Amino acid sequence: MMSSRTQDADGASIRFSDHTLDKATKAKVTLENYYSNLVTQYGERKQRLAKLEAQLKDESLSEAQRQEKRLQHAQKETEYLRLKRLRLGVEDFEALKVIGRGAFGEVRLVQKKDTGHVYAMKVLRKADMLEKEQVAHVRAERDVLVEADHQWVVKMYYSFQDPVNLYLIMEFLPGGDMMTLLMKKDTLSEEGTQFYISETALAIDSIHKLGFIHRDIKPDNLLLDARGHLKLSDFGLCTGLKKSHRTDFYRDLSQAKPSDFIGTCASLSCSPMDSKRRAESWKRNRRALAYSTVGTPDYIAPEVFLQTGYGPACDWWSLGVIMYEMLMGYPPFCSDNPQDTYRKVMNWRETLIFPPEIPISEEAKETIINFCCEADRRLGSQRGLEDLKSVPFFRGVDWEHIRERPAAIPVEVRSIDDTSNFDEFPDVSLEIPSAPIPQGGEIAKDWVFINYTYKRFEVRNLE
């Protein structure tokens, strides 16, 4: 045990070192999470058993067959308990390839050594994250979201940490992300756009029903599975961390019109090159923008930057921006710098413009305008998905079965670990950067790290 032998000069009062206060906060948060989860897991286990018993009643099974199913279920629960007490670490996985890079870490394709299963491992550097005392709060929120509908949300199987990083083990979605798809395709057809916007809407609706706001809906966070269907990722963990996603970043800026504001076509001569040039500029800078810790407010609703607060409607705004980008080739407020983008967002009434040289149906245009308007009038802000179902642009969408139908653009995947739908990252080391083993003195006994562990029931079902 590491202990600092501080002698109290004053016996009447206790002075705590910062180290002690840090450890105390961590202990308190961890225990609060533990006991909150204890109640949750107790209830969930009962629910699973009740669900099994209900199934057994419906099926015409002999008592011996029912007993066999009960034993199988009990064995699965026992295996889950064993899994819960294991200490997972980086050494349990073999890194196969770097498939993504974000502002605060990378994503690798990994294989679990004992089972051979393939996962996506996201590595996040603690030093770049929130204060350590809040890591558990952020993680607790994330664990709740892991219970979201996994039709629409990337499934997380495990999470753990070491002194340097947080690790999140997710299902691997070989279709890549929407940003990469848009970079390949430049634009999508209105049929393609309808498909992806509808699926994203279903995903957004599913998390709003859980009481969460994603707040960072953008093409990089929309992933495609092996069948080309869409799933949301990145809930909450990095929210608000990028400088340009925070109000403070713009404190000294007025909301005057941006310097590259081109006004309407009536006041300037628009050439067909303008929108094409913007699309090319956006595409050229897109990858670097995703990796930057500064980022861009392109997809963020204006009310997020005001002091008035914001609600779930901000996610529907982001969906409108993505819809515009799918059809036009760039988001409506893109600029050379985040400050100008901010000004355009805040002046959306004047800056949300459709270039006349790019064909777009009235229905699509109207839908985008209804997503990107005041929060209280915004499409989706009243009854969520029900708002969208009556909109002409979404005519013909099979909202109940869209996921079972063929996707708009098929994904070509040759094997379970095919990474051809991802970029190459030759400058990122495949080796996972983890804590160096301390030299000389005794190795730190970091026994508490498994308290940040999360493991999903059903992980064994993969076998």
Catalytic positions are: 216
- The strand ranges marked E within 31-179 are 93-102, 105-112, 118-125, 156-161, 165-170
CB 163 within 8 A of CB 443: no
Q: Which is nearer to another protein, 81 or 306 (CB)?
A: 81
360 marked ligand binding residue: no
Question: Does the protein bind another protein through residue 311 (CB under 8 A)?
Answer: no
64 marked ligand binding residue: no
Q: Which is nearer to another protein, 26 or 101 (CB)?
A: 26
Q: Which is nearer to another protein, 1 or 266 (CB)?
A: 1
Q: How many residues in the shown chain lie near another protein by CB under 8 A?
A: 48
- Rounded to an integer, what distance in angstroms lies between the CA atom of residue 172 and that of residue 401? 23
Phi, psi of 379, deg, nearest 5: -60, 125
Which one among 12, 14, 64, 266 touches another protein, defined by CB under 8 A? 14
CB 297 within 8 A of CB 345: yes
Q: Give the Cβ contact number of residue 279 at 10 Å.
A: 19
Q: Candidates 33-41, 193-201, 203-211, 233-241 — which segment interacts with another protein by CB under 8 A? A: 33-41
Q: Which is nearer to another protein, 37 or 281 (CB)?
A: 37
Question: Does the protein bind another protein through residue 254 (CB under 8 A)?
Answer: no
Which one among 151, 239, 292, 451 touches another protein, defined by CB under 8 A? 451
DSSP secondary structure string, 163-232? Answer: SSEEEEEE---TT-BHHHHHHHHSS--HHHHHHHHHHHHHHHHHHHHTT------SGGGEEE-TTS-EEE
Question: Does the protein bind another protein through residue 251 (CB under 8 A)?
Answer: no
DSSP element (H, E) containing 34: helix 18-58
343 marked ligand binding residue: no
103 marked ligand binding residue: yes
Which one among 1, 64, 437, 443 touches another protein, defined by CB under 8 A? 1
Take residue 279 and report the two structure tokens written for it. Answer: 């699309």
Q: Candidates 66-74, 282-290, 299-307, 349-357 — which segment interacts with another protein by CB under 8 A? A: 66-74
105 marked ligand binding residue: yes
Which one among 82, 349, 401, 414 touches another protein, defined by CB under 8 A? 82
Q: Candidates 69-77, 117-125, 315-323, 359-367 — which segment interacts with another protein by CB under 8 A? A: 69-77
CB 367 within 8 A of CB 323: yes
- Rounded to an integer, what distance in angstroms lies between the CA atom of residue 161 and that of residue 323? 37
Question: Does the protein bind another protein through residue 162 (CB under 8 A)?
Answer: no
Q: Show the site string, 98-137: x = touches another protein by CB under 8 A, - = not.
A: ----------------x-----------------------
294 marked ligand binding residue: no
Q: Which is nearer to another protein, 11 or 359 (CB)?
A: 11
101 marked ligand binding residue: yes
Query: Among candidates 147, 162, 121, 187, which has minimal Cα distance to 323?
Result: 187
Question: Does the protein bind another protein through residue 140 (CB under 8 A)?
Answer: no
Q: Which is nearer to another protein, 53 or 128 (CB)?
A: 53
Least separation in angstroms between residue 402's CB and another protein is 37
- Which residue's structure tokens are 């006004």? 263
Phi, psi of 169, deg, nearest 5: -105, 115
- Which residue's structure tokens are 């495949």? 430
CB 219 within 8 A of CB 177: yes
DSSP element (H, E) containing 89: none
CB 297 within 8 A of CB 289: no
Q: Candidates 65-73, 151-159, 253-261, 351-359 — which segment interacts with another protein by CB under 8 A? A: 65-73
Least separation in angstroms between residue 4's CB and another protein is 5
Question: Does the protein bind another protein through residue 57 (CB under 8 A)?
Answer: no
Which one among 44, 68, 79, 376 touches another protein, defined by CB under 8 A? 79
- Rounded to an integer, what distance in angstroms lies between the CA atom of residue 212 and that of residue 206? 9
Q: In what order do the strands lie in the sheet with 93-102?
A: 93-102, 105-112, 118-125, 165-170, 156-161, 454-455
* Separation of first and last alpha carbons in the chain: 40
Query: Among candidates 400, 392, 329, 333, which has minimal Cα distance to 186?
Result: 329
Question: Does the protein bind another protein through residue 437 (CB under 8 A)?
Answer: no
Which one among 68, 86, 259, 337 touches another protein, defined by CB under 8 A? 86
Least separation in angstroms between residue 12's CB and another protein is 11
127 marked ligand binding residue: no
383 to 216, 242, 337: CA distances (angstroms): 21, 31, 35
**Crossing angle (nearest 10°) for helices 313-328 and 190-209:** 160
DSSP 421: T
Going by the annotation, the residues of the binding site for ATP are 99-107, 122
Residue positions in the annotated binding site? 99-107, 122
Residues that bind another protein (CB under 8 A): 1-7, 14, 16-17, 19-21, 23-24, 26-28, 30-32, 34-36, 38-39, 42, 45, 49, 70-71, 73-74, 77-79, 81-82, 84-86, 114, 445, 447-448, 450-451, 460
